[in-house]
């Protein structure tokens, strides 16, 4: 099933993202995460793709296959064209098709200063067009409610997003954000620009001060005062911050669903307990 077919069924789609274990850990450590996630029955689970070369990215394929075939949950494999040239893309797509994985999140990827980028596809839209031409896959792409960090302004970012959708992206997943007003404004601009595919809101629960500061400096997400107060008060108290972070995420999601969002994509950070707490809290809200 292609991910885009999950939308418009009368309930808000809920999906989760996991990342492959570090190269130094056995791939089996992902089973602990997936065992926890299977009970909350996300509509699909996506698996990130690293900049660490073909061996690490074989793991993306392997984990997507496990989700699809052993857990019977639709899987979406991320694929970046800074880390994969045409030959690697062909190999990845063939492997995914062999494993019955039907969905790909087509990305450019972040440029790693220590790894020369592959140059067969300049932008995610080129990768989207290539995958569409090959056929058979549901194609998703990334979007940025506050604008992509490299983008000079939101207008050109949305113009390029429209090109990505016109090239064949059938569903979009957003970068994390903490202020719902940013997302609702972005959604309105997308609809005005003629982008009509389902757009899922990417939600990352704030669980640790250092990881959230790192993420914010990487992606440029703005921090509402409500969240800076939480970090100031609980930042050095991990248990308290975890509780406040989960409560903040649930509050954010309830408001997004009330505002009619198509779906919620939870960045789980491979922590199934946090995902379960959030999923259970929003179960009744999603069904309305
Ligand atoms: P693009 O859509 O190519 O956009 C990148 C920049 O180029 C933007 O500023 C855009 O406005 C601009 N642009 C696009 N087209 C053109 C054009 N024709 N001419 C000029 N400028 C143009 N990274 C990973 O490495 N692995 C992952 O698994 C991963 N998963 C992600 C999942 C989600 C949901 C999101 C939101 C991001 C993810 N990322 C991942 C990060 C992503 O790879 C980076 O944000 C990257 O910098 C941009 O990727 P993109 O696919 O959005 O690129």
Q: Where are the alpha helices (DSSP H) in the chain?
A: 30-38, 54-69, 86-98, 124-134, 154-167, 180-192, 209-219, 225-234, 238-258, 272-287
Residue 52: pLDDT band with limits 50, 70, 90? low
Query: How far apart are alpha carbons 87 and 83 in whole angstroms?
Result: 11
Q: Which atom of ligand 1 is nearest to the CA of 164?
A: 2
The pLDDT of residue 114: 86
Neighbouring C-alpha atoms within 13 Å toward the C-beta of 232:
7
Using CA atoms, how far residue 11 sits from 4, 185, 264, in Å, is 14, 22, 11
Using CA atoms, how far residue 32 sits from 39, 41, 70, in Å, is 12, 15, 13
Is 259:19 a contact under the CB 8 Å cutoff?
A: no
Domain 3-287 fold: TIM Barrel (3.20.20)
Q: Is the predicted pLDDT of residue 96 greater than 70, yes or no?
A: yes
Q: For ligand 1, atom 16, name the residue with the nearest CA.
A: 160
The pLDDT of residue 236: 95
| Ligand 1 interacting residues, C-beta cut-off 6 A | 48-49, 51, 78, 80, 107-110, 123-125, 142, 148, 150-151, 157, 160, 164, 173, 175, 202
Query: How far apart are alpha carbons 275 and 34 in whole angstroms?
Result: 11
Is 62:30 a contact under the CB 8 Å cutoff?
A: no
Residue 112: pLDDT band with limits 50, 70, 90? confident
Using the mean position of ligand 1's atoms as its centre, give its distance from the Cα of residue 124 in Å: 6
Stated as kind and residue range, the H or E segment containing 203 is strand 199-203
The pLDDT of residue 251: 98
Query: How far apart are alpha carbons 19 and 57 in whole angstroms?
Result: 11
What is the crossing angle of helices 238-258 and 225-234, to 10°?
160
The pLDDT of residue 19: 95
Per the prediction, the chain carries an average pLDDT of 95
Q: Is the predicted pLDDT of residue 49 greater than 70, yes or no?
A: yes
Query: How far apart are alpha carbons 288 and 277 in whole angstroms?
Result: 19
Mean per-residue pLDDT, 255-276: 97
DSSP states of 42-53 as a string? -SEEEE---SS-
Using the mean position of ligand 1's atoms as its centre, give its distance from the Cα of residue 104 in Å: 14
Cα dihedral across residues 253, 255, 258, 261: positive or negative = negative
Q: Which atom of ligand 1 is nearest to the CA of 161?
A: 2
Task: Write out pLDDT tens, residues 121-138.
Answer: 999 999 999 999 999 999
Q: Any idea what DSSP says for residue 2?
A: -
Task: Write out pLDDT tens, residues 165-186.
Answer: 999 999 999 999 999 999 999 9
Q: Is the predicted pLDDT of residue 53 greater than 60, yes or no?
A: no
Is 270:47 a contact under the CB 8 Å cutoff?
A: no
The pLDDT of residue 56: 56
Q: Cα dihedral angle (146, 151, 155, 156), rounded to 10 degrees?
A: -150
The whole-model pTM stands at 0.97
End-to-end CA distance of the chain: 24
Mean per-residue pLDDT, 71-91: 97
Task: Write out pLDDT tens, residues 30-47.
Answer: 999 999 999 999 999 999
The pLDDT of residue 287: 86
């Amino acid at each position: 099933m292609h991910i885009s077919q999950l939308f418009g069924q009368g309930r808000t789609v809920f999906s989760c993202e996991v990342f492959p274990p570090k190269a130094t850990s056995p791939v089996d450590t992902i089973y602990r995460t997936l065992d926890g996630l299977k009970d909350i029955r996300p509509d699909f689970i996506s698996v990130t793709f690293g900049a660490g070369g073909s061996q690490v990215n074989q793991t993306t394929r392997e984990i997507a296959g496990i989700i699809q075939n052993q857990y019977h949950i639709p899987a979406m494999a991320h694929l970046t064209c800074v880390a994969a040239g045409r030959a690697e893309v062909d190999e990845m797509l063939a492997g995914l098709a062999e494993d019955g994985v039907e969905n790909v999140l087509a990305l450019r990827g972040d440029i790693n200063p220590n790894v020369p980028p592959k140059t067969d596809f300049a932008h995610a839209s080129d990768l989207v067009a290539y995958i569409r031409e090959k056929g058979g896959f549901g194609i998703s792409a990334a979007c940025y409610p506050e604008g992509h960090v490299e983008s000079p302004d939101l207008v050109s970012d949305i113009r390029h997003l429209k090109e990505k959708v016109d090239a064949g992206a059938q569903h979009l997943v957003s970068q994390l954000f903490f202020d719902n007003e940013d997302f609702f404004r972005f959604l309105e601009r997308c609809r005005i620009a003629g982008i009509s595919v389902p757009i899922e809101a990417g939600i990352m629960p704030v669980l640790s001060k250092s990881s959230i500061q790192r993420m914010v400096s990487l992606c440029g997400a703005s921090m509402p005062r409500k969240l800076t107060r939480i970090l100031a008060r609980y930042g050095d108290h991990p248990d308290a911050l975890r509780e406040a972070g989960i409560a903040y995420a649930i509050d954010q999601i309830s408001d997004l669903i009330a505002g009619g969002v198509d779906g919620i994509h939870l960045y789980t950070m491979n922590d199934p307990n946090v995902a379960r707490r959030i999923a259970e809290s929003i179960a009744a809200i999603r069904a309305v």
